[in-house]
Copies of this chain bind each other. A is one copy, B any other.
Amino acid sequence: MSEPCFDVAHLGHVEMLTDKPEETLDFFVNVYGLTESGRDDTSIYLRAWDDYEFHTLKLTASDTTGLGHVAYRASSQAALERRVAVIESMGCGIGWVDGDLGHGRAYRFKSPDGHVFELYYDTKRYEAPEGEKPALKNIAQRYHGRGVAVRRLDHLNLLAADVSAIRDFMVQALGSRVTEMIQLNNGRIGGCWFTVNNKGYDVAFTEEHANAHARFHHVTYAVDQREDVLRAADIFLEHGVFIETGPHKHAIQGTFFLYVYEPAGNRVEVANAGARLILAPDWEPVVWTEEERKKGQAWGLKTIESFHTHGTPPIGETIIE
């Protein structure tokens, strides 16, 4: 029996496209509580107060919304090379890029649904400038308490026409493990939650119901306590941010969640996982049936209809490749 793969350390960052760059930036900085680390011609680099890298969110001005790319950091230079060799053999590689303000050389490749992935090891650590140095030196930046003040990047969710194909891809390409999944009555996989480390998930893929590809469902940052999620709801309410659903507890993964749309329409989540970790190296995926999913979320909240339909870019603008 093969050993678990530890070549990929963690989700690194997400590039989000926005056609309302100023409003989106204002949302992420003043309402969601991220901090800008830098900017270049097309993008602004943001991070949460305890993200150790230069950025975890790259906001790129665009004529549409959705995902630019998603990046994972490898466990070492050697691990990066091992993964690239595998990915190239899978035939889904794009090739090396030089990196950007936040990290060095990175290898790009595509999911079966067309999402652009990136794998890198060389990174730029965040160095807190004066005024942002924390009182306790084991956090990356002082707790500024601005807006929701999320702590760190947690995960993202992407839409794909064929989640089964995605499952094979994630397991092979990144060495991800499936922690939970939805098995539909028609034999297809309705959703699949993956992790490369001890978190319950760093990416989820759920079935795309539109005739579209490579769409984005949401990105999530973690807060320390469920109370922070409740407080976030009041902050969103007072700022006129559209709250789609929550706060409530997911049946799958048990995460306490709250979903909103940032001004350009990308869905953004605030979440808390409690003390949950996937520690078992031989964790068996939890498989949910269609019937079980009909019970709704953990405490009975019906899954909101738009959760099954709203992705970015919106349908008319989706890039069909």
Contacts and interface: CB of A to CB of B under 8 A. Distances in A.
Contacts of A254: 136, 138-139
B137 A286 contact: yes
Among A4, A135, A279, the most chain B Cβ lie within 10 Å of the Cβ of: A279
5 contacts: A145-B231, A225-B225, A227-B228, A245-B300, A247-B248
Interface in A234-265: 234-238, 240, 243-249, 251-254, 256, 258
Contacts of A258: 299
Total copies of the chain = 4
A230 B226 contact: yes
Contact of A73 (B10, B77, B251, B281): B281
A3 B79 contact: yes
A1 B77 CA distance: 9
Interface of A: 1, 3-4, 6, 9-10, 50, 52, 73-79, 134-139, 142-145, 147, 151-152, 154, 180, 197-199, 222-228, 230-231, 233-238, 240, 243-249, 251-254, 256, 258, 272-277, 279-283, 286, 288, 298-301
A258 B282 CA distance: 32
Nearest to A251: B136
9 smallest CB-CB distances across A and B, nearest first, come from A224-B274, A227-B227, A6-B6, A222-B275, A198-B198, A9-B281, A10-B279, A3-B76, A75-B281
A223 B136 contact: no
A307 to B, nearest CB: 14
Contacts of A248: 247-248
A4 B76 contact: yes
B275 A9 contact: no
Contacts of A135: 237-238, 240
A286 B50 CA distance: 14
Nearest to A147: B145
Contacts of A197: 197-198, 279
A163 to B, nearest CB: 18
Given A198-B199, A198-B277, A298-B136, A78 B145 contact: no
A225 to B, nearest CB: 6
Given A145-B235, A286-B137, A275 B224 contact: yes
Nearest to A151: B275
Contact of A52 (B4, B145, B225, B280): B280
